[in-house]
Amino acid sequence: MTPDLIYGLTGVAVFGIGLVGALSAQDRLRRVLALKLCSVGAGFLLVVGAWREPPAAPDPVPHALVITGIVVMVSATAVALALIRRLQTLEATDER
Amino acid sequence: MMDAPLLPLFILLTSLLAAPILFALPERAARLRTAINLGMAALKVALVGWLSIKVSQGVIYDLRFEMLPGLEFKLQADPLAILFIALSAVLWLITTIYSVGYLEHGPHRARFFGFFSLCVAATVGIALSGNLFTFLLFYELLTLATYPLVIHRGTAEALRAGRIYLIYTLAGGLVLLLGTLGLWVLAGTTDFVPGGVLADVVAENRLAAQLLFVVLIGALGVKAALVPFHRWLPIAMVAPAPVSALLHAVAVVKAGAFGIMRVVYEVFGIETAQTLGMTAPLAALAGVTIIYGSIRAITQDDIKKRLAYSTVSQVSYITLGVALASPIAAVGALAHLIHQGLMKITMFMAAGNLAEGLGVKRVSQMDGVGRAMPGTMLAFTLAALGMIGLPPLAGFVSKWYLAQGGLQADQVWVIALLLGSSLLNAIYFLPMLHRAWFRDAAPEGTGAPGRPRIGWMLAAPPVTTAVLVLVAGSFANAPFSPLEWTRFIVAIEYQE
Amino acid sequence: MTDPLVIFDLLLALAIVALAAASLSVRDLFSMIVLFIIFGLLSALAWVRLSAPDVALAEAAIGTGVTGALLLKTLHHLRFASGTLGQKAAYGVTPVAPVPMAVIMTNAVFCGLITLGLVVAFLGAPAAGPGFDPLVAEAMPQSGVEHPVTGVLLNFRSYDTLMEVVVLLAAVVAVWQIERGLSEAPAPAMGEVWQGFARLALPAIVVVGTYLLWVGAEAPGGAFQGGAVLAAVGLLLLLTRAYVPQPAHRGIARGAFVLGTAAFALVALLVASGGRVAFEYPLDHAKTLILLIEGMVTISIAVTLAALFHGREPVALAKGDRNDT
Amino acid sequence: MQDVVAAVLITTGTVFFIAGTVGLLRFPDIFCRLHALTKADGLGLALIALGVAFLAATPGAVFRIVLIWFFVAAASATCGHLVARYARRSGAGVRHD
Amino acid sequence: MSVEISPMILSVFVPLFGAIAAFVLPRAAALIGFATLVLTSGAVAWLARDVLAAGAVGLPLGGWGAPLGIDLRADGLSVAMLALTSVVGFLVSIAALDSLKGPEQARQRQYFWPLWLLLLTGMNGVYLSTDIFNLYVMIEVIALAAVGLTVLSGSRAALQAGLDYMYASIFGALLFLMGVGFVYLQLGRLDFAGLTGAAPTGALIAALALIFVGLALKTALFPLHFWLPAAHANATAPASALLSGLVVKAALYVVLRLAQYMPFPSENLLTLVGLMGAGAVIWGGVQALRAERLKLLVAWSTVAQIGLIFVAFARAGEVGLSESWKAAALLILAHGIAKAAMFLAAGRIKDEIGHDVIRDLDRTPIRPTLAQFTFALAAISLIGLPPSLGFIGKWSLMEGAMAAGYWHWVGVTMAGTLLSVAYFSRVFAGFLRFDRVRAPVGEHQGWALADAAPLTLALMAIGLGLLAAPVLSFIEIGYPFGVAP
């Protein structure tokens, strides 16, 4: 039982949970969150792939990729949330 | 005379380039439009004349352009092409004059003449195609160009008819695409070569070749209105008279018949087709169509519908002549391609004149129209008698050769068929003539209200073509007559 | 099984999975977000365990911090817009119908099968398999920096990093396009204790952010983590209304958004001379150039993240305006 | 010796954290919970920070640990205050029994 | 010190700088956008010349070289896609100048250009990339810019469609990223060359599946097409043209590219791809038949056409893949041009007559003749009638399928063609019918300069069919599938 095995399975599980959420969530915010979970799952996978048995240093390339992925995801999340807010405003005015 | 290798291309361009100009002209520029129309049509007739002289001198025209590896866009001017192209060039000129008169105050003339031009360009392209691939290109163009013409009136009925027309012909085009592909995969070429390109393939791939034959003839049969693919033709009658005239005499139906010729003679080769055992069923199908069309024609009261069913029947004479696999029948078939065109265009233009001048659209209204419009009805009568096959009119010549061909091929049933068909022709045409000439006009508004006023542009064209019918029949053996040219072609196709 | 840390790992892994599941299934949306934030922090912890401190920092700061703030802000906005501020689950004008259990179960079974497949694939993959480590080790001396992750981000794969900054730019352009206006939900009243804390914390955050940027060359940290920490300053300023974006500030803001991208791209282009290709920094100046790029990018990231949090173009809108003007 | 002191401090700190967590879970209303959380965690944090400082290699590291402790303590105090304030204003009930 | 710049880097950086400039200087956005498109087209032309002269060219960014660094590579297929993007983009931009000219569209105008130029950056980046993680980032650039363009009009319907598009897009990208993770786990590298010849292990199959599903979601392959019709139908016309003509092609291109390098596990997968394509052809066609609005019909036709491209891809099985990609590429080019023309024309029609309800197309005395003509021309290419490029693509598709004996794909293609005839003829009928109009039909109404761009596109879609042979030989440069023609 090494950390990469444990956390690799964690990552796949988190990805799977995100998958369920992305498919079933009706609530807009919850769906964004589910997608974020998927991205964390993918991040786990890459970080696990980079892990080397100490004292060997891990592979830095996947780390860089995950950082990129995190920034990309926050950008996408921000856009999705802006859409949600705007849509809500329009729906609220239409209701009145 | 100088030599111009691009001559076929120029002939194509006379109408292809006219189309965008005509589209772009403002609606009110009627004179300029007419000038362009007639100028181009006359130019085309002149160029075709030049071309036919060169071809008869043995000059070979062959233009190629590679579209996909090994697959060429190919124009060639062989005698068979000249036959068809000459028909369309001459009849286009005449029909253009007629259309200008017919649509004098109608809407959307720019659109009409644009598509009209495109339609002729497509027909010329079909005639000049040097391979099945090129043929396919123009065949589809023809569909697209004629669709707006068919629904030109823009009424709900026209649109319904147009939809049926479009679905039939595009489905036919799609099947033709399938057949072309099949040919390409099977033979590695789609070229039209006298004697065919499939002789080697047939030995190993008999079934595939048979299937290909069925597919190709089926596809072309849609436009040629072979039973059971004929349904669109009577429905398409909602089109304006000049369009119907063109559709029946030159463009669509003839393109199908012409295609059948090309496929049987130059894709399969008549011998190969015979070895495949496909000619006899084709002849039988043509026979059925001939009788079926005639019988249906009898019961139609609408003049144009009656004419349409008559076309179904008459065009199949061509197919019959091809399928009989006898050189003499082939002469008859080819001659009929021309003769039927002349006769049918006369009748449609005459029918158009009746509708325009007198409001007569049904057979039952035709009482006494002969006196009201003697010129038009004289032309109609000549053409109708020609259809029945009365000597010395054009129709007689082609029927005569077909019968001879039947004898040559030991198919005696053909004689019976032709006799039966002529009888039926008489049954549905003679009452019309009888009403027109020997009955008095109905007293109230239903009949002819005195002398109608139609311009010379409507009156002259049917008379001209009727004269041509007479001439083509009477002087069938003169040099450069359709019949003579036909013999020239048959010599090539039968490789004698 | 001898290593006691394995137990810690197992517990942590279980907590992470449980939190992920809980955040998706909890009914209250606020709780959902809070659970997610805890989930993100624990994930960061897991990544520290996997010797990925840079990733952990980025996840904690951006993936959890900024994302959490964005989610909370949006939730507040939605509840305010629909007048459901006090309620628990709902925020919509038309309440979201609960998903039928059958659908959820079907999805769960379907996703379970996929996950199972992925687990099999993961177990079949070579553990600590081939990687870039030898290549990186070989190339590090020429990279101009000592910290490998920074070397990858800003030298070996700097093209990716440039495009990542472009993604951020695209996001802020899109967000500004989607939302505009000045007024929104009123500022939460935070009280004096908070004011005092903010006065104390803001300078410290600035220092920490700059430090993270600076230290990135040889130790975990760098432009993204530093930028995210600096963005926190912006968040605090915006939250307390210490700074209210005005239409007149848009020009400067636009400049700040594009600064990182423009500087990065320009440097990448201009180094291509004397036989070098784009992105190939001359060895002597590599460290300077990388620091320059990182500095500019940090500014852009900080301002952009704060702008994403603010979430709208500051435009003065006429009354009743809702579409295009 | 240092290791032992550090271990004792960290363990004690952990106990306080656990106690705080138990309080969070078991206490009846939000104010009680806050009470448990902020008090116990504040002390636990201080103890752990102190323990870790004993293990630190350089004075710089000790300095950083002190800074961290300071800011985390300040932040958690502020947070506790904000939560309580919000709870009181939105009228969260206090359990009397 | 002279700067040496490759046209490859320019075709990505010029639009990037353009986007920055257009965003910073919103008043001059249109001018900047135009200059950028001209310069980008110049860079692409320069690149095309290089590729023609020297075959495939590469550029190791940072001088590291793959797998550590990222290489750019341009072969015939990439340049063809770049050229498609430039040409269509340029003409759509011209159309956008007109369609966004009103004072009420000031805001749309201001944001259209930076978003569109960012989109261009992303697409050009995809076509030059040789690294799957880099592809992921580029795809995200495209996704965000594309969503921004989708919701440009700010209407509620557009926003709802944009949000659904956003979910699908993020989800697709994350599946792709997960796939990248598995590739790294198995191979330890992410460049295309590293994928070549790798044994199809479990991790790689999982990676392939994740990446494919992600891309299928992005390119809206049936049954993952659910987001496309609303998104493309509710965007403003220039945006729809870009989304339908270009954006979905980027993901399609990646599928083509990966098929070239990925170890394909089996014939069955290819069949599955073909079946999904067939489903799209049928379902998209049926929905287009039922659509009530013109733009929705056009959008559903995109679904069907995308399916057809996948059918082309699968047309001759695994063995035929080295040829099948060409049929797919031809269809991609054909659809890109024709669909852009069609959306622009549909937008023009809507602008002129004020609505796009198909049933009522004939209830107006105004006839935007040229726009209708353009629509019809584009339809000719989409139906696949000769001599259009669409016809050539369809011909190649059916030829290959027939030669390989895969008759079912021939049948699907024919069914799709018939469906497209049926749904487009609904529109033609609306154009040509005029007996319901009371007011006299004016002459040549609606001829405007604005029709120039869509008409040019439509004519290109038709005319390029005649140039299919040179186009084909161009996309074979660099033998993308490693097999000499």
Cα torsion through D32, D37, D43, D44, rounded to 10: 140
- Which residue among E380, E417, E469 places its CB closest to the CB of B67? E469
Residue C93 has pLDDT above 50, yes or no: no
Helix (H) or strand (E) holding E105: none
Report for B469-478, C137-146, E245-254: range of highest mean pLDDT: E245-254
Q: Count Cβ atoms below 10 Å from residue B27 Cβ, excluding itself.
A: 15
Touch criterion met for C and B (3+ Cβ pairs within 8 Å): no
Distance from CA of B66 to the nearest CA of E (A): 7
Touch criterion met for A and B (3+ Cβ pairs within 8 Å): no
> Which D residues 43-72 touch C at CB under 8 Å?
67, 71
Quick check: D81 and C201 CB within 8 A?
Answer: no
- Structure token digits, residue E164: 């659904």
Is the CB of residue E115 less than 8 Å from the CB of residue E143?
no
Model confidence band, residue D22 (pLDDT cutoffs 50, 70, 90): confident
Of E137, C168, E212, the closest CA to residue A69 belongs to E137
Instruction: Say if E52 falls within a structural domain.
Output: no
Which chains does chain A touch, 3 or more C-beta pairs < 8 A? C, E
> Which A residues 57-76 touch C at CB under 8 Å?
57-68, 70-76
- In terms of CA atoms, which chain C residue is nearest residue D81? C193
| pLDDT at residue number E1 | 47
Distance from CA of E166 to the nearest CA of A (A): 7
Chain B CB contacts of E414 under 8 Å are: 174, 178
- What contacts C178, CB < 8 A, 6 or more positions away? A79, A82, A83, A86, E148, E151, E154, E159
Bond from prior residue into E454 cis (ω within 30 degrees of 0): no
Model confidence band, residue E484 (pLDDT cutoffs 50, 70, 90): very low
The torsion region of residue A59 among left (phi > 0), alpha (psi -120 to 50) and beta comes to beta
Q: Is C128 on the interface with E (CB under 8 A)?
A: no
Q: Is C81 on the interface with D (CB under 8 A)?
A: no
Chain D CB contacts of C190 under 8 Å are: 82, 85
Quick check: A85 and C74 CB within 8 A?
Answer: yes
What is the distance, to the nearest Å, from the Cα of residue C23 to the centroid of all Cα atoms in its chain?
A: 19
Distance from CA of C225 to the nearest CA of D (A): 17
- What contacts E460, CB < 8 A, 6 or more positions away? E87, E337, E341
Model confidence band, residue E448 (pLDDT cutoffs 50, 70, 90): low
pLDDT tens, residue by residue, B384-421 = 998 888 878 888 888 888 888 888 888 888 888 989 99
Model confidence band, residue D83 (pLDDT cutoffs 50, 70, 90): confident
Residue E129 has pLDDT above 90, yes or no: yes
HSE on the CB side for E116, CA within 13 Å?
34
Residue with tokens 């693509």: E393
CA torsion through residues A22, C89, D92, C192, sign:
positive
pLDDT tens, residue by residue, B212-248 = 999 999 999 988 888 888 888 888 888 888 888 888 7
Quick check: C122 and A72 CB within 8 A?
Answer: no
Instruction: Say if B378 falls within a structural domain.
Output: yes
- Which residue among C86, C190, C201 places its CB closest to the CB of D82? C190
Q: What is the fold of A3-95?
A: Helix Hairpins (1.10.287)
Angle of CA points B212, B215, B219, to nearest 5°: 140
Distance CA E361, CA E426 (A): 10
Chain A CB contacts of E151 under 8 Å are: 83
Distance CA B340, CA B362 (A): 22
Model confidence band, residue E321 (pLDDT cutoffs 50, 70, 90): confident
> Which B residues 141-160 touch E at CB under 8 Å?
141, 144, 147-148, 151, 153-156, 158-159
Q: Count Cβ atoms below 10 Å from residue C28 Cβ, excluding itself.
A: 12
* DSSP-derived secondary structure letter, E72: E
> Which C residues 157-176 touch E at CB under 8 Å?
157-160, 163-164, 166-167, 169-171, 173-174, 176
As for how many domains chain E has, the answer is 1
Orientation angle between helical segments A3-24 and C5-25, nearest 10 degrees = 0
The torsion region of residue E361 among left (phi > 0), alpha (psi -120 to 50) and beta comes to alpha
Residue E182 has pLDDT above 90, yes or no: yes
The torsion region of residue B177 among left (phi > 0), alpha (psi -120 to 50) and beta comes to alpha
Is the CB of residue E134 less than 8 Å from the CB of residue C163?
yes
Is C315 strand, coil or helix? Answer: coil
Number of H helices, E strands in chain D: 3, 0
Residue type, B137: L
Residue A59 has pLDDT above 50, yes or no: yes
**Range from A40-54, B438-452, C261-275, E304-318 carrying the lowest mean pLDDT:** B438-452
Q: Count Cβ atoms below 10 Å from residue B211 Cβ, excluding itself.
A: 14
Quick check: C191 and D81 CB within 8 A?
Answer: yes
Touch criterion met for A and C (3+ Cβ pairs within 8 Å): yes
Which chains does chain D touch, 3 or more C-beta pairs < 8 A? C
What is the length of chain C? Answer: 325
End-to-end CA distance of chain C: 66
Write down the H helix ranges in C26-89. 29-49, 53-58, 67-81
Residue E449 has pLDDT above 80, yes or no: no
- In terms of CA atoms, which chain E residue is nearest residue B152? E432
Distance CA E91, CA E241 (A): 10
| pLDDT at residue number E72 | 93
- Structure token digits, residue E124: 């050009």
Query: Which residues span the domain enclosing E328?
Result: 268-485
Q: Which of C154, C279, C284, C296 to mutate to test the interface with E (most CBs of E within 10 A)?
A: C279
Chain E CB contacts of B178 under 8 Å are: 398, 410, 414
- Residues C221-237 have a mean pLDDT of 87
- Which residue among B66, B141, B166 places its CB closest to the CB of E425? B166
Instruction: Say if B372 falls within a structural domain.
Output: yes
Quick check: E399 and B178 CB within 8 A?
Answer: no
Quick check: E432 and B159 CB within 8 A?
Answer: yes
Q: What percent of chain B has pLDDT over 70?
A: 96
Of B164, B197, B168, the closest CA to residue B182 belongs to B197
Model confidence band, residue B110 (pLDDT cutoffs 50, 70, 90): confident
pLDDT tens, residue by residue, C59-80 = 999 999 999 999 998 988 888 7
Three-class secondary structure assignment of chain E: CCECCCHHHHHHHHHHHHHHHHHHCHHHHHHHHHHHHHHHHHHHHHHHHHHHHHCCEEEEHHHCCCCCCCEEEECHHHHHHHHHHHHHHHHHHHHHHHHCCCHHHHHHHHHHHHHHHHHHHHHHHHHHECEHHHHHHHHHHHHHHHHHHHCCCCCHHHHHHHHHHHHHHHHHHHHHHHHHHHHHHHHCCCEHHHHCCCCCCHHHHHHHHHHHHHHHHHHCCCCCCCCHHHHHHHCCHHHHHHHHHHHHHHHHHHHHHHHHHCCCCCHHHHHHHHHHHHHHHHHHHHHHHHCCEHHHHHHHHHHHHHHHHHHHHHCCCCCCHHHHHHHHHHHHHHHHHHHHHHHHHHHHHHHHHCCCEHHHCCCCCCCCHHHHHHHHHHHHHHHCCCCCHHHHHHHHHHHHHHHCCCHHHHHHHHHHHHHHHHHHHHHHHHHHCCCCCCCCCCCCCCCCHHHHHHHHHHHHHHHHHHHHHHHHHHHCCCCCCCCCC
- Structure token digits, residue B471: 């001439």
Quick check: C194 and D82 CB within 8 A?
Answer: yes
pLDDT tens, residue by residue, E328-358 = 999 999 999 999 999 999 998 888 888 888 8
Residue B378 has pLDDT above 70, yes or no: yes
Q: Is B85 on the interface with E (CB under 8 A)?
A: no
Which chains does chain B touch, 3 or more C-beta pairs < 8 A? E
Model confidence band, residue D95 (pLDDT cutoffs 50, 70, 90): low
Q: Is D2 on the interface with C (CB under 8 A)?
A: no
Chain E CB contacts of B26 under 8 Å are: 443-444
Give ipTM to 2 decimals.
0.89
- Structure token digits, residue B488: 């020239």
Query: Which residues span the domain enclosing B466?
Result: 334-441+452-496
Q: Is E2 on the interface with C (CB under 8 A)?
A: yes
Residue E458 has pLDDT above 60, yes or no: yes
Q: Which of B74, B146, B170 to mutate to test the interface with E (most CBs of E within 10 A)?
A: B170
Q: Which of B16, B22, B185 to mutate to test the interface with E (most CBs of E within 10 A)?
A: B185
Distance CA E9, CA D92 (A): 61
| pLDDT at residue number C95 | 57
Model confidence band, residue B448 (pLDDT cutoffs 50, 70, 90): very low
- Residues B120-133 have a mean pLDDT of 91
Phi, psi of D69 (to 5 degrees): -55, -45
Interface of E with B (CB under 8 A): 373, 380, 383, 385-387, 392, 394-396, 398-399, 402-403, 410, 414, 417-418, 421-422, 425, 428-429, 432-435, 441, 443-444, 465-466, 468-469, 472, 485
**Range from B416-430, D72-86, E149-163, E372-386 carrying the lowest mean pLDDT:** D72-86
Distance CA B98, CA B96 (A): 5
Distance from CA of A5 to the nearest CA of E (A): 12
- Which residue among B154, B162, B171 places its CB closest to the CB of E435? B154
Q: Which of B140, B165, B167, B186 to mutate to test the interface with E (most CBs of E within 10 A)?
A: B140
Phi, psi of C313 (to 5 degrees): -80, 130
Quick check: E69 and C129 CB within 8 A?
Answer: no
Distance from CA of C24 to the nearest CA of A (A): 7
Phi, psi of D62 (to 5 degrees): -60, -45
